[in-house]
Amino acid sequence: MASPKVIDIACESCGATLTLDEHLRTAECAFCASPMVVERPASAERPDPTFALGFVIGREQATTAVQNWIRGRGPFVRSDFKKATLEKTRGVYLPTYLYGAVAETVYEAEIGEDYTETETYTDSEGNRQTRTVRKTEYRSLRGRQSRYIHDAVVTASRGIPNHELAEVEPFDLRALRRYEAAILSGWLAEEPSLDSEACLRTARGEAIARVGDDLAGFMPGDSHHSLRYSTHLVDEVIDLVLLPVWVFSMRYAKEKPPARVLMNGQTGEIYGTAPLSIRKITTTVVLAAGFVATLLWLLNAF
């Protein structure tokens, strides 16, 4: 892997030279602690952000919540994980794309319409009886649907993959601010590191999945099956938006890579995977097996 490109910049406050990773949008002078925001020329791969969502949850509140979350993990989670201290706590403005489009969909489904029929049958005592039964007849339905897709959010950072971001969504987009560099001041902010075409593909995938979810509720009839659809996305809008995320990393065992916990910097939603202890699980299984075996032996013996 190529080493990250760095640039040399001069601190505007004290004149010291510092180096800065190319994928970062902010820096702090090592000598005078001045918070700086790096404004690069916009390009297709690195457009200017349109909006940013400010942090609502501060460092202390975030740290406390994540510590409580770690302690509250289940009984099979490794003990050293539960006791680990947070090593690194970073409030990051994560670059994401906010995608919208007009979805033109052609769909086809088998629509079930219920009806009742009276039928006669012979009961167990040999008497003829009548009963009404509910039956369903299916009809094919083809149609078109046109609608807006709003606010599909996809990550533009290699650091936090889309499925992890999805775990701490949703963000309340009513609190969006028009992007101004000063909102990043004193915080970490990344530049987009995923290529914009790949992000667009992910966003389109989300949009199409959303069409499918909503189509199920759009079908008439009493029931339906075999819903198929194909969607054409037109008139797209895509905006780079910086979202607030707290990232915690912690080392709980020497031989293991550090674990990571994410928190939505606006709503406080937490996501992480707690490592399970093989030893704890094995012990429990062995104990349970022993208990069952003893029980069986006792039952057989008496």
Contact residues: another protein, CB under 8 A: 7, 9-13, 27, 34-42, 48, 50-51, 54-58, 98, 100, 102, 111, 113-115, 117, 135-137, 139, 141-148, 150-151, 174-178, 180-187, 217-221, 235, 237, 239
Q: What is the CB neighbour count within 10 angstroms for residue 208?
A: 19
User: Whose Cβ is closer to another protein: residue 27's or residue 262's?
Assistant: 27
User: Whose Cβ is closer to another protein: residue 186's or residue 275's?
Assistant: 186
User: Whose Cβ is closer to another protein: residue 39's or residue 125's?
Assistant: 39
Q: In the bound complex, what is the minimum distance in angstroms from residue 150's beta carbon to another protein? A: 5
Task: Say if residues 141 and 178 touch (Cβ distance below 8 Å).
Answer: no
Q: In the bound complex, what is the minimum distance in angstroms from residue 51's beta carbon to another protein? A: 7
Instruction: Assign 67 to helix, strand or coil.
Output: helix
User: Whose Cβ is closer to another protein: residue 19's or residue 294's?
Assistant: 19
Q: In the bound complex, what is the minimum distance in angstroms from residue 131's beta carbon to another protein? A: 17
Q: In the bound complex, what is the minimum distance in angstroms from residue 201's beta carbon to another protein? A: 20
Instruction: Assign 284 to helix, strand or coil.
Output: helix
Return the HEC string of 213-268. HHHHHHCCCCEEEEEEEEEEEEEEEEEEEEEEEEEEEECCCCCCCCEEEEEECCCC
Assign residue 180 a region (left: φ > 0; alpha: ψ between -120 and 50; beta: otherwise). Answer: beta
User: Whose Cβ is closer to another protein: residue 104's or residue 164's?
Assistant: 104
User: Whose Cβ is closer to another protein: residue 135's or residue 158's?
Assistant: 135
Q: In the bound complex, what is the minimum distance in angstroms from residue 106's beta carbon to another protein? A: 11
Task: Say if residues 260 and 167 touch (Cβ distance below 8 Å).
Answer: no
Instruction: Assign 209 to helix, strand or coil.
Output: helix
CA pair distance 168, 94, nearest whole angstrom? 13
User: Whose Cβ is closer to another protein: residue 167's or residue 236's?
Assistant: 236
As to burial, measured by CB atoms within 10 angstroms (0-12 exposed, 13-18 middle, 19+ buried), residue 40 is: exposed
Q: In the bound complex, what is the minimum distance in angstroms from residue 241's beta carbon to another protein? A: 10
Q: In the bound complex, what is the minimum distance in angstroms from residue 282's beta carbon to another protein? A: 44
CA distances from 293 to 27, 185, 281 (A): 63, 64, 18
Residues with Cβ within 8 Å of 60's Cβ and at least 6 positions away in sequence, in order, are: none
